[in-house]
Structure 1
Amino acid sequence: MTAVPAITLNNAVQIPQLGFGTYQIEPEETRETTLAALEAGYRHIDTAQMYGNEKEVGQAVRDSGLDRADIFVTSKLNNGAHEHDDALKAFDRTMDDLGLDHLDLFLIHWPLPGEGDFVETWKALEEIYRSGRSKAIGVSNFQPHHLRRLLQGSDVVPAVNQIEVHPYLTQDDVRAFGAEHDIATEAWSPIAQGKVLDDPTINRIAQRVGKSPAQVTLRWHLQRGDIVFPKSVTQKRIEENFDLFDFELSEGDIGEISALNRDERTGPDPERFNG
């Protein structure tokens, strides 16, 4: 079985750098698809309250036959639960739905600039963290100014910031801020919902190294230090997305792919999205 590299978070918790994402996987497909990912070797599963499939993710983890300590599970707080007490109750529901004794990582899903104070929401996550029910806490879709405000008003530095990152949206400023403050970057939409797979530069590199455009793009993420969790519902693609550790991109390849940036989002802009 291929050993996936681990990233050590700022509280010494280790997270597998390659995981499996469950966004837009229907609940009725989630258990079997997640089991297929675990059988393929993935040991990091990313879900969220918003996805509506936490129960099925938890069922797959329990049914896998693997030791719970060997599987890293992430979930995220829904946008309607940012009030302190609501956040605590929402976390309780997540734990009930997952049917697990602890979570490895719990995130604020969106900063919601027009919907109250995410610093107060973070204080609820700090309580969850101190209770030991989640081994690490973090944020998602936060920009540098959101992170500055959070750091000024709280005690616990987020372990990760999960943001949209791909060759057409390299997010260098957000990633640099994270690196400066020991906040790991997780990349969602890592292949830009498939948009980058027809890119001539990526295809030329893929032909040279004998890999698919998706594999080259995911390898670019890994070599830059991003934590990435591609999603698929097909066995072949699940396995292909895991097959990233028998080749390396050159520094020139990394530079060429990074130069494709055009600040193009596939998802909402965190500066304007309010849930």
Structure 2
Amino acid sequence: MIHGETQCTILVCTVDDGVTVAQLVYEDFISNNLNVGFENLSKPNAACSVRRCNVLVPILTARFEQTPICRGALEEARRLQKPIVPVIAIKDWRPEDWLGLMIAGCTFFRIFDKENAYKPLFDNCRMMDLRFSTEVACRPVPSQAEREKVEFKALKEKIEECKGKLQAWPPTRKPRTLNILTDRHPVRVTLVEPNAKLDFTHIHHTITRLDMKAPAPMLDEYGLPKRREVDCMISYQWDNQIFVRKVYEDMSMREIRVWFDIWGAMQGNTNEAMATGSLF
């Protein structure tokens, strides 16, 4: 693979059968003041500037999968640990062979034409979700040392808060003599009576992204877990947003703690949400 010299934050790469969608994505990013580059890897002596970008946006098609330089570009992005935000540009087509493995775990978007890209869904559309997901991927990832520094600072603040509530630090141990006759008491456990009626909050709701209460993020701005437990984690495809939001609102009324990615860009850490949830 020939390495290009295009310096950009976001690199949109495509082949001939994906140029229309790639141009659509490129123009949208440019109109929103994003630093984006465009490369057609079908051209003779094509070069890919994956080393010069921060985020790679490949426009996936059947010919893209058959082009050796495209495979080299994605392998280089994976090797350099650069975020990949793939776009599938062919309707009723799915990647096979190496390409399916290469984008495993990535949030991908199906954009076929301008009508499909900007078809409104509530206050959202596919192109807006793609742009937002790409902007999130452009954010710098803190190093392990930075994460530990933030966690140490948070723990230190908690310790200082505890010190303010105590008369002495470290707290002195209370002297105690155990008297078997007076200090021992039977343990009484109160069992909750079986009740088939679940807690239910009777509210009327309208499901849009502007007036519904979004699930709290699982991680803070530094990528540290907020140690928040959930009862259920919802995983869904973009086309099922209407149904998923209805399920979310129904579970919320039944006092079930639910987390799912309402913004479509997998904010927070999905794996963290799965790990802390009891259902999936």
| TM-score in terms of structure 1 length | 0.29
| TM-score in terms of structure 2 length | 0.29
Pair member with larger Rg = 2
Greater share of residues in helix = 1
